[in-house]
Chain A
Amino acid sequence: MYNFDFERPKSVADAVKALQTEEAQPLGGGQTLIPTLKQRLAMPSKLVSLAGIDEIKGVCKDDQNRLCIGGGTVHRVIAEKAMSEGFPGLTGLASKIGDPAVRNRGTIGGSLANNDPSACYPAAAMATGATIVTDRREIAADDYFKGLFETALEEGEIITEVKMPIPEASAYMKFEQPASRFPLVGVFVARFSDRVGVGVTGASESGVFRWTEAERALGSDFSADAVKGLSVPADGMISDLHGTAEYRAHLVGVMTRRAVAAAQ
């Protein structure tokens, strides 16, 4: 690992200031960034740790029935709080990321900023129509994810909060890649009074996406049978040693049906 300076500000304002240095980078829980630094795939001049900023930690519900999750909140806390706030589908997602030690450090802000094509939260953000709040603006999930590891975030922009509309029913199903336990394909299904959202991660070469055809079918009949005849084309799906594009396309259908069944 190359060396770098280390700062631990106590407020978002101080963190934004610290990030103005050339090649400075925020550090969330480090569960992705530290392995990346060890491989010398990143070479920041300075890391600005967000772990000391209390104002971006914690989970609450706002008056529009959205779960407001601080960008620096760790997976373990999200799993606990989503349950008590009536969003068990998100608990199911957060409580299966990595292992307990990873969940004690890794944050939702880090996961969304990284936008790994196999990360779990992006599927929930897309399915629920979440809003990503940063130190300078609010971004709709549909406009936020820009492909593999690419997002709408600017240099030095910090995710301070994620606002997720709480669905009436929801579930996340991931087909785990057994070595990394990241999803080979993961599907988040969210049913609201007026619409259904289906977010798919791990599958597409252009990153997380909404399966709109399934959303329409589920909107009129929220049952596993309603999506039985539907499939996504293998064209544009990821193909690697863990699974072919055809296999992933098939899994999208299977995981969607399982998620709908689990959300009943």
Chain B
Amino acid sequence: MASVTMNVNGKPVTGEIEGRTLLVEFLRNGLSLTGTHVGCDTSQCGACLVHVDGEAVKACTMFAAEAEGAEVTTIEGVSNPDGSLNTIQQAFQDYHGLQCGFCTPGMVMSAAALLKDNPSPSEQEIREYLQGNICRCTGYHNIVKAIMAASGQDVSRIAAE
């Protein structure tokens, strides 16, 4: 066992890990931050997506030890300071961007990473960016719509399906 220290959602945390401990295991089992999901565990689905030093990363495909000293943001850390939903989260609710909700934490984190670099993405750019986020329920249309709405764009011309 070794010890690892990082900032998670702005708070310094230290924990005991093995070499093989994945970041997602540390977050879920070590810190009880179970909002980060494990869908595939094979880096395909994006349910485990978090931000490490501001970049989107699949937490099932990174070791906890590699996040030593890093700033990690999970879905638990993105709401408004008063605890209400942030713009992206609210748009997912308003536009029915989720059904079972399993993929949603990863979708929201992915959307946040996209909008940080590209504040006004086209529908095509959103779809391409979400290549690594799989949803088994919604058929993606409303997720794309939610992200467009969250970026302040008119979504009235995107078909509701």
- Using CB atoms and an 8 Å cutoff, list the residues of chain A in contact with chain B: 1-6, 8, 27, 30-31, 34-35, 37-38, 46-47, 49, 51, 76, 98-102, 104-105, 181
B65 with A102: CB separation less than 8 A: no
A35 with B20: CB separation less than 8 A: no
Binds A, one of B39-47, B78-86, B139-147, B149-157: B39-47
A163 to B45, alpha carbons, bound, how many Å? 34
A102 with B58: CB separation less than 8 A: yes
Given A34-B62, A100-B56, A101-B49, also A3-B18 (CB < 8 A): yes
Q: Is B61 an interface residue (CB 8 A)?
A: yes
Q: Is B71 an interface residue (CB 8 A)?
A: no
- A6's partner among B56, B63, B133 (CB-CB below 8 A) is B63
Residues of A within 8 A of B2 (CB): 6
Given A6-B63, A35-B61, also A99-B46 (CB < 8 A): yes
Q: List 9 A-B contacts (CB under 8 A).
A: A6-B19, A30-B63, A31-B61, A49-B65, A49-B66, A99-B133, A100-B132, A101-B110, A105-B58
Residues of A within 8 A of B29 (CB): none
B18 with A104: CB separation less than 8 A: no
Shortest beta-carbon contacts, A-B, top 8: A99-B132, A6-B19, A99-B131, A104-B55, A6-B65, A4-B19, A101-B56, A1-B20
Given A5-B19, A100-B132, also A30-B62 (CB < 8 A): yes
Q: Is B68 an interface residue (CB 8 A)?
A: yes
A30 to B132, alpha carbons, bound, how many Å? 16
Consensus secondary structure, chain B interface: mixed
B63 with A102: CB separation less than 8 A: no
A6 to B66, alpha carbons, bound, how many Å? 9
Interface residues on B, range: 20 to 34
Give the residue name and chain of the B residue nearest to A38 (CB).
B41
Given A30-B61, A51-B66, also A102-B19 (CB < 8 A): no
CB 8 Å contact bits of B103-115 with A (1 = contact, 0 = none): 0000000100110
Can you add 11 more A-B contacts, CB < 8 Å, to A35-B42, A100-B110? A5-B19, A30-B62, A31-B61, A47-B63, A99-B129, A101-B43, A101-B46, A101-B49, A102-B58, A105-B58, A105-B61
B62 with A105: CB separation less than 8 A: yes
Interface residues of B in 4-57 (CB under 8 A from A): 18-20, 22, 41-43, 46, 49, 55-57
A132 to B43, alpha carbons, bound, how many Å? 28
Q: Looking at A4, A35, A47, A101, which has the most chain B CB atoms within 10 Å of its CB?
A: A101
A38 to B62, alpha carbons, bound, how many Å? 12
Give the residue name and chain of the B residue nearest to A98 (CB).
B132
B132 with A102: CB separation less than 8 A: yes
A16 to B11, alpha carbons, bound, how many Å? 35
Residues of B within 8 A of A46 (CB): 19
Give the residue name and chain of the A residue nearest to B106 (CB).
A101
A34 with B46: CB separation less than 8 A: no
A104 with B42: CB separation less than 8 A: no
A3 to B22, alpha carbons, bound, how many Å? 11
A47 with B19: CB separation less than 8 A: yes
Residues of B within 8 A of A49 (CB): 63, 65-66
A99 to B45, alpha carbons, bound, how many Å? 10
How far apart are B99's CB and chain A's nearest CB, in angstroms? Answer: 22
A8 to B4, alpha carbons, bound, how many Å? 12
B20 with A100: CB separation less than 8 A: no
A178 to B103, alpha carbons, bound, how many Å? 20
A181 to B131, alpha carbons, bound, how many Å? 10
How far apart are A176's CB and chain B's nearest CB, in angstroms? Answer: 10
B61 with A104: CB separation less than 8 A: no
A181 to B55, alpha carbons, bound, how many Å? 22
Given A34-B61, A51-B66, also A100-B19 (CB < 8 A): no
